[in-house]
Amino acid sequence: MLMTGAFRDFLGKVEPIRLKEPLAETLGVFVRDDAVLEYTFIDVVKLAGHACPTTAAAYLCCLKALERLYPGEMPVRGDIAITVYGEPDEGVYGVMSQVFSLLTGAAPATGFKGLGPKFKRKNLLKFSPAKMEPAAMCFEFRRLDTGKAVLVKFYPREVPSPQEKAERMGELMDQVIWDVARDEEKKQFQDLWMGKVQSMLLDRQDIDRWLRVEEVARPAAQ
């Protein structure tokens, strides 16, 4: 059953991510050779069971990385390796990695082993304890076909958040979690929470301050 009208309107306005999926083509999923997969932020909501600044940031990290890796081209799902510079159980790195897997096909050790020499997804997503920059969450996205790579840096503390709204949201969250919030307080909390998600995904205020993409220099030939 379609969930028509179940989501806030702005969620359907978020720029989608479109990719080729050679594995699906090979196994006959599509009826046309030129078909592509389209992922939306609502797909991320379905995966995570919620929308939040973390899932919004993960979606934008993928979107921006793919734009830089495939300028003027259609990205290829399953042909991207990702290094997460953080531990899987550290902070929100694990949550963000699940979004990356959904959108790019890159999977950890539990991923698809492939068909013969093709379509392997296992171990295309790896974690590294190394920290590239103290204030940033860092993720490397690399094309398997060309070796081109970009480093995406997300600065959570730089995302615009008016202090008064942030403080009020924190107060209301405690009340909601402990089931002592009145109906109007629950509604206010939800509006503040989703307002921040909307601001990140659609307004993207000062995005160059809190989300940066840098090309990774290739190692010199030996």
Mean pLDDT, residues 69-88 taken together: 97
197, 52 in Cβ contact below 8 A?
Answer: yes
Q: How many helices (H) and strands (E) does the chain have?
A: 7, 7
pLDDT single digits (tens) 102-137:
999 999 999 999 998 999 999 999 999 999 899 999
Closest CA to 69 of 216, 222, 219, 220: 216
Q: Pairing mode, if any, of strands 17-19 and 37-39?
A: antiparallel
pTM for this prediction: 0.94
Q: How confident is the model at residue 33 (pLDDT cuts 50, 70, 90)?
A: confident
Per-residue pLDDT, 161:
86
Q: Which helix (H) or strand (E) holds 43?
A: helix 41-48
22, 119 in Cβ contact below 8 A?
Answer: yes
pLDDT single digits (tens) 167-200:
999 999 999 999 999 999 999 999 999 999 999 9
Q: Pairing mode, if any, of strands 149-154 and 137-143?
A: antiparallel
Q: How confident is the model at residue 148 (pLDDT cuts 50, 70, 90)?
A: very high
Q: Does 52 have pLDDT greater than 70?
A: yes
Q: Does 222 have pLDDT greater than 70?
A: no
Per-residue pLDDT, 34:
83
Per-residue pLDDT, 1:
46
Closest CA to 192 of 214, 150, 218, 163: 163
Q: Which helix (H) or strand (E) holds 125?
A: strand 125-127
Per-residue pLDDT, 219:
61
Per-residue pLDDT, 2:
52
Mean per-residue pLDDT over the chain, rounded? 93
Order across the sheet with 149-154: list the strands. Answer: 125-127, 80-84, 137-143, 149-154, 211-215
Residues 14 and 60: their CA atoms lie apart, in Å, by: 10
Return the domain boundaries, the chain: 9-155+210-215
Residue 114: strand, helix, or coil: coil
Closest CA to 96 of 55, 37, 63, 139: 55
